[in-house]
Amino acid sequence: MRFEFTPEESDFRRQLSAFLDDVLPINWHGPADESRDDHWALNQQIKKGLADRGWFVMSWPKKYGGADSSPMMNTIFAEEMAYRRAPGHDRFGTRMLGPTLMRFGSETQRTQHLGAIARGEVQWCQGYSEPNSGSDLASLQTRAVLDGDVFVINGAKIWTSLAHRADMMFMLVRTDPDTAPHRGISLLLVDMKTPGIQVLPIINMAGVHSFNQVVFDDVRVPKANLVGDLNDGWRVGMTVLNFERSGIDYAAWARASMEELVDYVRNDESLVSTIKTNPDVRSKLAGLSTDIEAARLLCYDVAWRQGQGEVPSSEASMSKVAGTEVYTRVLDYGLELLGMYGVLEPGSDQAELEGRFLKMRLFATSGPILAGTNEIQKNIIAQRGLGLPRAPKR
């Protein structure tokens, strides 16, 4: 499988790279820490610059702020942003909610929200997981009861990335508790400034405030914020997840980390001289590089399928599994090569590569879990991709 980029696509990658050269701080290695105000300010600055250039949602229709470009342009954009570990990419709004609204939303919802996303004016977050509902998402219990023209929401969401920075949330709620679990769920759009919403920070083991628990206490949301039909939220929500899983970020992060690691092995004078020619090291790095390229091609395949009008399901799951697993393996091997100095915290005088590999590895633990665990992804691949039956219940 070989994807050849058009002259327009190659030129766009060069323009985006040049833009990032100008706006990222000198010697920027990333990734951004969203709990730091200076990093969040940089995120907003870059987001505005991207939106002003029309790069934020290129594949969207022009009437919603896009340029009617191919999904491959969006993939190139996402890959370059991740490869540079650059902030400024609202994945929740541009990659997940926007395409879902175009498919299931009303024209009023599209007019109200898509333009603001395209202009980089609003930050979205996703309310799916709950304290007792993760992989088994259909067991969610956050209730939304219709009261006239409003839904009244009570419950809690957890692991909500960027809830502390977000203006809006799209969330799954239970609107019919008396039917089958998958059939009593709806998707709502919620203003995070609505009374009754409390955001509680969760500091992850990398020391970063990215996750949150969000508590809803009699939160009143207009009925007009229902996306799709009442009690049809499972179908709508799974479409969101298919768009989320079809990202190339992990493969790009793995490629950037691999290049850092190879450069370190090749050039660092503090290494034992034989490590550069050690056949085990050479074989391991070559194998990881091959796996990275395979994951990258799976992501290009997803973009190509989207360009054919498909909503990839098992293919998106394949790219998610491949990307998250190879990224974790690259970081694990990097820490093995860096040795004890590689696990020193950033800021330590003797920390190798400024402690980045440790921070990235701690944060990457969430990759095989979020957006549906990789075990769930393999079930999807088996059932939807290979046509295999469900395993019998024990």
DSSP string, 65-98: T-----HHHHHHHHHHHHHTT-S---HIIIIIIH
Among 92-96, 116-120, 388-392, the range scoring the smallest mean pLDDT is: 388-392
Give a yes or no: residue 308 inside a domain.
yes
Q: What is the CATH number of the domain that holds 137?
A: 2.40.110.10
Residue with the two structure tokens 């009690």: 231
Instruction: State the Cα–Cα distance between residues 118 and 60, nearest whole angstrom.
Output: 9
88 within 8 A of 72, measured Cβ to Cβ:
no
Same structural domain, 223 and 254: no
% of the chain exceeding 70 in pLDDT: 94
Same structural domain, 250 and 373: yes
Residue 375 has a CB neighbour count (10 Å cut-off) of: 11
Same structural domain, 301 and 276: yes
Rg (alpha carbons) of the chain, rounded to whole number: 22
pLDDT, residue 374, reads 87
Residue-by-residue DSSP string for 139-161:
G---EEEEETTEEEEEEEE-S-T
Average confidence (pLDDT) over 109-132: 93
Give a yes or no: residue 218 inside a domain.
yes
Same structural domain, 223 and 337: no
CA dihedral 250→251→255→256, nearest 10 degrees, is -30
Give a yes or no: residue 47 inside a domain.
yes
Give a yes or no: residue 29 inside a domain.
yes
Residue 84 has a CB neighbour count (10 Å cut-off) of: 19
Tokens of 335: 């820490």
Instruction: State the Cα–Cα distance between residues 232 and 230, nearest whole angstrom.
Output: 5
Displacement of CA 154 from its chain's centroid (Å): 27
pLDDT, residue 194, reads 98
311 within 8 A of 239, measured Cβ to Cβ:
yes
pLDDT, residue 325, reads 94
- Looking at residue 345, the DSSP 8-state letter turns out to be P
Span 264-278, pLDDT tens digits: 888 766 555 566 677
Same structural domain, 271 and 344: yes
Buried b (16+ CB within 10 A) or exposed e, 15-30: ebeebbeebbeeebeb
pLDDT, residue 225, reads 97
Instruction: State the Cα–Cα distance between residues 98 and 64, nearest whole angstrom.
Output: 10
Tokens of 84: 């540079």
Q: Please state the φ and ψ torsions of residue 200, each to the nearest 5 degrees.
A: -110, 125
Average confidence (pLDDT) over 49-77: 88
Instruction: State the Cα–Cα distance between residues 284 and 262, nearest whole angstrom.
Output: 11
Same structural domain, 254 and 364: yes
Tokens of 199: 């955001």
Q: Which member of 80, 244, 315, 352 is catalytic?
A: 244
Span 284-307, pLDDT tens digits: 999 999 999 999 999 888 888 877
Of 128, 132, 133, the closest CA to residue 186 belongs to 128
Total domain count, the chain: 3
pLDDT, residue 157, reads 96
53 within 8 A of 59, measured Cβ to Cβ:
no
Tokens of 170: 């799209």
The reply to whether 244 belongs to the active site is yes
Residue 285 structural domain = 246-385
Q: Please state the φ and ψ torsions of residue 172, each to the nearest 5 degrees.
A: -95, 135
